[in-house]
């Protein structure tokens, strides 16, 4: 039986935009998806500031235009067209040197019929600033299409070399009005119910931790990310936001694309697949899914947690107290619940049930002579001791 690369894993999506597209990409690879938006994109089509800035730039066109996001430039041109200002705005921007922040912004500029003068190598604003500072900007008029938040560092640097800066607020990112759904991702993350959380903007990360702080569990959320929960960030700016919140090692694809983000997740979890033999039985364990000689079963969260603790130290006895404290939160929990869970786990493993051995008076161990080989579902030939389950 061939498993999808994300089968057996649960992924939380925090985006409000294009989340259905992201969900489809993830589920196509086998993931279970839950949607917990931690951000709301507020378009400013009826905002007086955006209309005022648009008219101002039509009357006095910019010498340079910084396009920070594809969605931003598209929304601005579409909004201007709805106001009857589409042609005048296009004419005003066509005479500017347009600097695009990364490939997505550049593609949107070209799709709008405008010409990209320069494109930053990455989506970092530092790269955009470097391109601009290579020019003589004193007395120049520079328009900055914002990307959901103000960019005071860029504005101040440009004003510092004598440029006149015009900020264009096309949309704003906000915390959701109803935090209920977003708070569920905090709960799910801290209780070990998720394998990964995806972020497509730095504010989505900041909002999640702000809401966790409101609940007094921000440290628990950081610990979850440090303990194996994957923070999958679409690009370097988003990943920088995660690191600012104390996430040590966010997963980042080589370029800011949803497809590449999903591929990076697939590669990450593919490396965590475990394949080994118990006698003549091949057992594949991937997230919550186990396949023994082609028979597929789904582990409950506690069954999975018990198995993973044993698999982390194959051949080594893991004490009952450690299993109870790690999985149920207290070493003083009735040991009967552990025995019941191990019994169910063995039934899920079917013909490979003998791999879980009980050691009288001590605990349980995964009865392998050598470590499990992870990665890519490639078959390993480690042979279990063949002990009967007790």
pLDDT along the chain (390 residues), means of 10: 88 90 95 91 73 95 94 89 93 96 90 94 85 94 86 90 93 76 85 93 90 92 94 91 95 86 94 81 89 89 92 89 90 87 94 90 81 45 33
The answer as to whether 79 is a domain residue is yes
The answer as to whether 54 is a domain residue is yes
d(Cα 343, Cα 199) in Å, to the nearest integer? 38
d(Cα 92, Cα 232) in Å, to the nearest integer? 39
Of 269, 272, 275, 273, nearest to 355 by C-alpha is 275
Of 115, 122, 116, 131, nearest to 101 by C-alpha is 122
User: Are residues 35 and 149 both part of a single domain?
Assistant: no
User: Are residues 28 and 108 both part of a single domain?
Assistant: no
DSSP labels, 355-380: GEEEETTTEEEE-BSSPPEESTT---
User: Are residues 293 and 351 both part of a single domain?
Assistant: yes
The total domain count for the chain is 3
Parent domain of 141 = 42-173
255, 270, 285 — which closes off a domain? 270
Phi, psi of 358 (to 5 degrees): -90, 135
270, 293, 318 — which closes off a domain? 270
User: Are residues 69 and 163 both part of a single domain?
Assistant: yes
User: Are residues 189 and 145 both part of a single domain?
Assistant: no
User: Are residues 316 and 220 both part of a single domain?
Assistant: no
Q: In DSSP terms, which residues pair with 282 in a beta bridge?
A: 277
156, 173, 190 — which closes off a domain? 173
E strands within 322-366?
356-359, 363-366
pLDDT at 46: 59
Of 170, 171, 166, 149, nearest to 92 by C-alpha is 166
User: Are residues 283 and 345 both part of a single domain?
Assistant: yes
pLDDT at 382: 33
CATH of the domain at 35: 3.40.50.10090
Report pTM: 0.74
User: Are residues 237 and 292 both part of a single domain?
Assistant: no
Of 12, 11, 9, nearest to 208 by C-alpha is 12
User: Are residues 74 and 143 both part of a single domain?
Assistant: yes
What is the DSSP code (8-state) at residue 114? -
The answer as to whether 390 is a domain residue is no
The answer as to whether 384 is a domain residue is no
The answer as to whether 149 is a domain residue is yes
The answer as to whether 1 is a domain residue is no
Instruction: Let me know how long the chain is.
Output: 390
SS3 content of the chain, % helix, strand, coil (to 5): 45, 20, 35
User: Are residues 209 and 265 both part of a single domain?
Assistant: yes
CATH of the domain at 327: 1.10.10.10
User: Is the CB of residue 354 less than 8 Å from the CB of residue 278?
Assistant: yes
Helix axes 202-214, 180-190, angle to 10 degrees: 80
d(Cα 130, Cα 234) in Å, to the nearest integer? 23
User: Are residues 75 and 187 both part of a single domain?
Assistant: no
Distance set, CA 186 to CA 15, 173, 196, 222, 327 (Å): 15, 19, 12, 10, 19
The answer as to whether 386 is a domain residue is no
User: Are residues 284 and 319 both part of a single domain?
Assistant: yes
The answer as to whether 311 is a domain residue is yes
């Amino acid at each position: 039986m061939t498993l999808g690369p994300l089968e057996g894993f649960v992924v939380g999506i925090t985006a409000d935009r294009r989340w259905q597209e992201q969900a489809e990409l993830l589920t196509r690879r086998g993931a279970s998806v839950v949607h917990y938006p931690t951000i709301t994109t507020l378009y400013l089509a009826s905002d007086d500031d955006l209309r005022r800035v648009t008219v101002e730039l039509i009357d006095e066109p910019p010498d340079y235009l910084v396009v920070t996001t594809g969605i931003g430039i598209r929304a601005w041109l579409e909004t201007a067209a709805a106001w009857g200002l589409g042609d005048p705005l296009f004419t005003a921007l066509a005479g500017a040197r347009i600097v695009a922040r990364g490939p997505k912004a550049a593609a949107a500029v070209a799709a709008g019929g405008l010409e990209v003068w320069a494109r930053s190598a990455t989506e970092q604003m530092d790269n955009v600033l470097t391109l601009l500072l290579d020019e003589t900007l004193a007395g120049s008029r520079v328009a900055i299409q914002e990307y959901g938040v103000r960019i005071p560092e860029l504005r101040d640097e440009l004003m510092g070399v004598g440029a006149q800066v015009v900020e264009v607020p096309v949309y704003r990112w906000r915390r959701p009005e109803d935090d209920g759904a977003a708070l569920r991702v905090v709960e799910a993350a801290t209780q070990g119910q998720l394998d990964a959380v995806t972020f497509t903007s730095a504010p989505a990360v900041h909002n999640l931790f702000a809401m966790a702080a409101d609940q007094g569990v921000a440290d628990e959320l950081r610990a979850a990310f440090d303990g194996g929960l994957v923070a999958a960030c679409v690009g370097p700016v988003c990943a920088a936001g995660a690191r600012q919140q104390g996430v040590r090692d966010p997963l980042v694809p080589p370029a800011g694309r949803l497809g590449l983000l999903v591929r990076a997740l697939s590669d990450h979890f593919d490396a965590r697949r475990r394949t080994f033999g118990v006698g003549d039985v091949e057992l594949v364990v991937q997230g919550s899914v186990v396949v023994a000689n082609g028979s597929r079963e789904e582990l409950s969260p506690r069954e999975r947690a018990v198995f993973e603790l044993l698999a982390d130290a194959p051949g080594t006895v893991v004490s009952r107290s450690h299993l109870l404290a790690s999985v149920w939160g207290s070493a003083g929990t009735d040991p009967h619940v552990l025995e019941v869970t191990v019994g169910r786990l063995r039934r899920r493993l079917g013909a490979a049930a003998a791999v879980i051995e009980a050691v009288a008076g001590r605990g349980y161990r995964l009865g392998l002579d050598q470590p499990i080989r992870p990665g890519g579902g490639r078959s390993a030939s480690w042979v279990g001791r063949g002990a009967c389950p007790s």
